[in-house]
């Protein structure tokens, strides 16, 4: 009930803002039309503005009450009987404060409009629309400050775009009622000069509406990109479905608008045809207005719906488009570019020559484009499952990876083998050979794919389900292990020399305790410093010498933007407070990062799951990616000379943020 009232009042608020902004702009743009025939139309427009100004504060009050009820998790009636809850919400939350400020502005605007109305009901219609326009614009600018975009620091930069989206929508949609009324009002007048002037005004509004629609589309794409990160977000969530519905209706609006432009504002009317031809066309504008109202309703519902990136997608199709997984495989590398080219050619031809084509050729062109698009989608598709885009509830932590490795050793080695090569003792007894988990294709599957297979098994290959044995946490732990295990074979290309501008391997996160006892984690250093992780299970002569060298140089390393982290089971005494030690959870970190220590010369034994290294150093850039690795037992020089390490750190600091920081969860 609360959500329904909140969504409906949001739609009403947007509709009243559309009238205050769009209708007022349209009325003011026709101020040069002074014919007495327009008096009745201006009177109705002014009355509509007054009604909208009175509806706005009422809708804001109800919206504030609904939001307060949702925030306090109480029924709306409890809010009505205890207004204190509303005041607390209005004062204690950013969204409540925004609604409250908009309410005060709406009340002030209504008072000003009422004063103008009673001051003189006939003369100052311009003053009415100017006040209404000011109230609408200010409220439209304030509104997004309490929305989804403003509530997330990562998307706060989109607030101006959201404001532009709302103002453009209001200008376009709010002008349509005045458009229809003006056409009907002047359609039967015999005054040719008036009809020409009105037609010129309609053409001007058409140009403005076209510009507004361009802003609506571009800003809408930018806003959607903040909440839609994958196919699963778009098709597998309530937010995504609402957005798809909004897009489909907007496409219908564009078709109607194009039809209106051709029928009413075409060159025929410029040759002196009467505006009476516009009355039937006005019905199309009414339909456009009705669809715009549906869009407002969907927008209001979207504002109260959990954004897709914060929801759990449920995939409904048996396939998904994954070009990165299918590109190296026949027939994608040949079929996809050809089919895509045909589809694009059909689309461009349609845009360029649609009006000059016969119906048969239009149908043929559309069929060819759709068929080519379908073939391209088929070529780039892979099987998918209901959980394909499921979001992990277990962070990509070394403690999770270590637990996942334990789950694998206890439950999976019989088929997949002790080294994950698909050569376990039971492998030959299965209908299909078990997957070789070391191959790169494992990394191309989504985390949700792994979750589905582990939970439900793969009956056709003989893999049993583990859903009854593992809880959700254990399943995601195993998926995290499979990710780092597969990436370890891809990471064999790592060396002390970094690949400039080439981040790709996210570093597993881990917790530690600072010298003052406060907790910390690896990602705390993002955007602040590059991190050098020295991993050594046991101290030896050469290891101790290297650690001593790093400790003595910690000040110069810090000056070069390098944070030193030592991972060892044995606590090292008398270290500077700026150096981080990982001791209690060292075993988990050592095991997890050992998966990333395979090299081109040594990828490990096929009967062992992990590598055994006495000492490894990893360099993590300030965005959270593993960029370099030094294994002294295979490369004596490496970063032995710290000058090289400092130069590399400087190079990394000179790089911009090429990719966003790796997510905390597997995808």
Residue 496 and residue 639: Cα distance in Å, rounded?
A: 7
| pLDDT bracket for residue 31 (50, 70, 90) | confident
Residue 268 has pLDDT above 70, yes or no: no
Alpha-helical segments (H) within 304-379: 323-326, 332-353, 359-379
Tell me the sheet residues that pair with 45: none
| pLDDT bracket for residue 465 (50, 70, 90) | very high
| pLDDT bracket for residue 273 (50, 70, 90) | very low
Domain ranges of the chain: 2-310, 319-383, 398-492, 495-654
Query: Which of these ranges, 103-117, 122-136, 255-269, 426-440, has the smallest mean pLDDT?
Result: 255-269
- Omega before residue 527 within 30° of 0, cis: no
| pLDDT bracket for residue 321 (50, 70, 90) | very high
Among 26, 36, 29, which Cα is nearest to 189's? 36
The β-bridge relationship of strands 511-513 and 519-521 is antiparallel
CB atoms within 10 A of CB 385: 19
pLDDT of residue 409: 97
Residue 563 has pLDDT above 90, yes or no: yes
pLDDT of residue 17: 96
Q: Which helix (H) or strand (E) holds 563?
A: strand 562-567
Higher pLDDT, 311 or 278: 311
Q: Which helix (H) or strand (E) holds 1?
A: none
Residue 496 and residue 630: Cα distance in Å, rounded?
A: 5
pLDDT of residue 150: 81
Query: Do 398-492 and 495-654 agree at the fold level?
Result: no
Residue 376's Cα: distance from chain center in Å? Answer: 25
pLDDT, tens digit, 9 for 90 and up, residues 360-391: 888 898 899 999 999 999 999 999 999 999 99
Mean pLDDT of 177-201: 80
pLDDT, tens digit, 9 for 90 and up, residues 448-464: 999 999 999 999 999 99
| pLDDT bracket for residue 327 (50, 70, 90) | confident
Give me the count of residues in the chain: 667
Among 377, 29, 349, 417, which Cα is nearest to 204's? 29
pLDDT of residue 122: 54
CATH topology of domain 398-492: Cytochrome Bc1 Complex; Chain D, domain 2 (1.10.760)
Mean pLDDT of 487-495: 95
Higher pLDDT, 274 or 278: 278
CB atoms within 10 A of CB 442: 20
| pLDDT bracket for residue 279 (50, 70, 90) | low
pLDDT, tens digit, 9 for 90 and up, residues 396-410: 999 999 999 999 999
Q: Which CATH class is domain 495-654?
A: alpha beta
pLDDT of residue 260: 82
pLDDT of residue 283: 86
State the residue for tokens 């845009």.
351
Mean pLDDT of 5-25: 94
Residue 613 contacts residue 631 (beta carbons within 8 Å): yes
pLDDT of residue 265: 58
Query: Which of these ranges, 93-97, 391-395, 633-637, has the smallest mean pLDDT?
Result: 93-97
Phi-psi region of 561 (alpha: psi -120 to 50; beta: other; left: phi over 0): left
Residue 334 has pLDDT above 80, yes or no: yes
Would you give the DSSP letter of residue 153? G
The Cα-based distances of 218 to 211, 225, 309 in angstroms read 11, 11, 20
pLDDT of residue 264: 64
Residue 168 and residue 163: Cα distance in Å, rounded?
A: 9
Which residues, in sequence order, are CB contacts of 616 under 8 Å at separation 6+?
A: 534, 535, 536, 593, 594, 597, 629, 630, 631
Residue 667 has pLDDT above 70, yes or no: no
Q: Is residue 113 exposed (0-12), middle (13-18) or buried (19+ Cβ within 10 Å)?
A: buried
User: 609-613 long-range CB contacts below 8 Å, 24 or more apart?
Assistant: 609/405, 609/408, 609/409, 609/418, 609/419, 609/420, 609/485, 610/405, 613/535, 613/537
Residue 474 and residue 471: Cα distance in Å, rounded?
A: 5
Q: What is the DSSP string of 17-49?
A: HHIIIIIHHHHHHTTT---GGGHHHHHHHHHHH
Mean pLDDT of 570-579: 91
pLDDT of residue 109: 92
Q: Which helix (H) or strand (E) holds 580?
A: strand 580-582
Residue 535 and residue 659: Cα distance in Å, rounded?
A: 26
pLDDT of residue 548: 94
pLDDT, tens digit, 9 for 90 and up, residues 505-561: 999 999 999 988 899 999 999 999 999 999 998 877 778 899 999 999 999 999 999
The encoded tokens of residue 368 equal 């060819």
**What is the average pLDDT score of the chain?**
89
Mean pLDDT of 583-605: 95
């Amino acid at each position: 009930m609360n959500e329904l009232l909140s969504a409906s009042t949001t739609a009403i608020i947007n509709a009243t803002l559309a009238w205050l902004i769009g209708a007022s702009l349209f009325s003011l743009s026709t101020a040069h039309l002074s014919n007495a025939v327009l008096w009745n139309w201006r009177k109705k427009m002014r009355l509509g503005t007054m009604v909208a100004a009175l509806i706005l504060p009422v809708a804001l009050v109800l919206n504030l009450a609904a939001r307060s009820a949702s925030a306090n998790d109480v029924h709306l009636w409890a809010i009505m009987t205890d207004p204190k809850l509303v005041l607390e919400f209005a004062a204690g939350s950013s969204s409540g404060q925004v609604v409250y400020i908009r309410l005060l502005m709406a009340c002030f605007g209504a008072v000003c409009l009422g004063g103008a109305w009673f001051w003189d009901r006939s003369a100052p219609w311009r003053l009415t629309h100017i006040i209404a326009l000011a109230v609408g614009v200010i409220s439209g600018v304030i509104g997004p400050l309490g929305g989804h975009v403003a509530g997330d620091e990562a998307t706060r930069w989109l607030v101006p775009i959201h404001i532009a989206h709302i103002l453009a929508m209001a200008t376009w949609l709010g002008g349509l009622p005045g458009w229809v009324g003006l056409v009907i009002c002047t359609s039967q007048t015999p005054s040719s000069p008036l009809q020409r002037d009105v037609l010129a005004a309609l053409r001007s509004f058409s140009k403005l509406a076209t510009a507004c629609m361009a802003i609506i589309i571009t800003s809408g794409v930018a806003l959607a990109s903040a909440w839609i990160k994958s196919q699963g977000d778009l098709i597998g969530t309530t937010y995504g479905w609402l957005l798809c519905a909004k897009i489909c209706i907007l496409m219908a609006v564009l078709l109607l608008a194009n039809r209106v432009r051709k029928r009413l504002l075409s060159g025929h009317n410029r040759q002196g045809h009467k505006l009476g031809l516009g009355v039937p066309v006005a019905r199309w504008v009414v339909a456009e207005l009705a669809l715009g109202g549906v869009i407002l309703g969907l927008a209001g519902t979207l504002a109260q719906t959990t954004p897709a990136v914060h929801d759990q997608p449920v995939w409904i199709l048996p396939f998904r488009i994954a070009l990165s997984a299918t590109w190296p495989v026949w027939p994608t590398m040949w079929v996809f570019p050809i089919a895509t080219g045909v589809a694009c050619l059909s689309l461009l031809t349609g845009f360029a020559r649609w009006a000059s084509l016969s119906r048969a050729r239009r149908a043929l062109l559309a069929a060819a484009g759709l068929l080519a698009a379908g073939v391209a989608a088929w070529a780039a598709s892979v099987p998918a499952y209901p959980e394909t885009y499921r979001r992990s509830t277990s962070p990509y932590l070394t403690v999770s990876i270590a637990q996942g490795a334990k789950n694998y050793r206890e439950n999976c080695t019989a088929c997949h083998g002790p080294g994950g090569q698909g050569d376990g003792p039971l492998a030959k007894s299965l209908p299909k050979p078990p997957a070789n988990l070391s191959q790169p294709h494992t990394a191309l599957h989504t985390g949700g794919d792994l979750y589905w297979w582990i939970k439900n098994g793969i009956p056709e290959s003989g893999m049993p389900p583990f859903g009854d044995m593992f809880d959700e946490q254990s399943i995601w732990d195993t998926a995290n292990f499979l990710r780092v295990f597969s990436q370890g074979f891809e990471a064999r290309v790592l060396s002390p020399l970094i690949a400039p501008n080439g981040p790709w391997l996210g570093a597993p996160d881990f917790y530690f305790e600072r010298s003052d006892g406060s907790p910390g984690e690896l990602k705390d250093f993002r955007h602040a410093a590059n991190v050098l992780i020295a991993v050594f299970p046991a101290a030896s002569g050469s290891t101790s010498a290297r650690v001593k060298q790093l400790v003595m140089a910690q000040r110069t390393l810090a000056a070069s933007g390098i944070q030193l982290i030592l991972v060892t089971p044995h606590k090292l005494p008398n270290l500077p407070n700026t150096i981080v030690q990982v001791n209690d959870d060292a075993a988990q970190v050592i095991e997890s990062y050992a998966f990333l220590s395979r090299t081109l010369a040594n990828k490990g034994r096929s009967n062992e799951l992990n590598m055994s290294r006495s000492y490894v150093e990893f360099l993590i850039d300030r965005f959270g990616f593993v960029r370099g690795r030094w294994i002294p037992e295979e490369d004596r020089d490496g970063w032995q000379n710290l000058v090289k390490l400092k130069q590399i750190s400087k190079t990394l600091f000179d790089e911009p943020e090429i990719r966003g920081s790796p997510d905390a969860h597997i995808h």
